[in-house]
Structure 1
Amino acid sequence: MNFAIGFVALCFQGLVLYPWHETISEQVAKLENNIVRLEQMEAQLKTHMERNQELIKQRIIENGKKI
């Protein structure tokens, strides 16, 4: 009886749990890659925002001198 229970448990682990583990590992790796991409995009957006703010300030100053 113990042998049968052990065999069924081993089959369950090998046929069900291990493939799920592989799928979850792949999904975690994809999420990590997406997080890295998002962080890079955030840095780029911050740089662009700062540049735009500087351009806006320059235009305001230029327009103030023209008046």
Structure 2
Amino acid sequence: MSFAIGFTALCFQALVLYPCHETISEQVHKLEDNITRLEQMEVELKTHMEKNQDLIKQQILKNAKHI
């Protein structure tokens, strides 16, 4: 009897739990990749924002000199 229960539990783990585990692991890996991309994009956006702010300041100073 205990052999049948053990065998059934092993089959359940091999046929149901393991494929679910693989799917979840794959999704977690994709999420980690997306997080990395988002962090890189955030850095790029901050850099562009700072450059744009500098350009705006330069334009304001340039226009103030012409007035």
* TM tier, smaller: over 0.9
Identify unmatched segments of 5+ residues in structure 1: none
Q: Deviations over 1:12-52 (max 9, x none)?
A: 00000000110011001101100110011000000000000
Q: Which runs of 4+ in 1 moved over 3 A?
A: none
Indicate the residue corresponding to 2:61 in structure 1.
61
> Superposition RMSD on alpha carbons, in Å?
0.5
1:28-47, aligned counterparts within 5 Å? Answer: 28-47=28-47
Indicate the residue corresponding to 1:26 in structure 2.
26
Please give the TM-score of this superposition, normalised by the length of structure 1: 0.97
CA–CA separation in structure 2 for the residues paired with 1:38 and 1:26: 18
Please give the TM-score of this superposition, normalised by the length of structure 2: 0.97
Identity %: 76
CA–CA separation in structure 2 for the residues paired with 1:2 and 1:60: 83
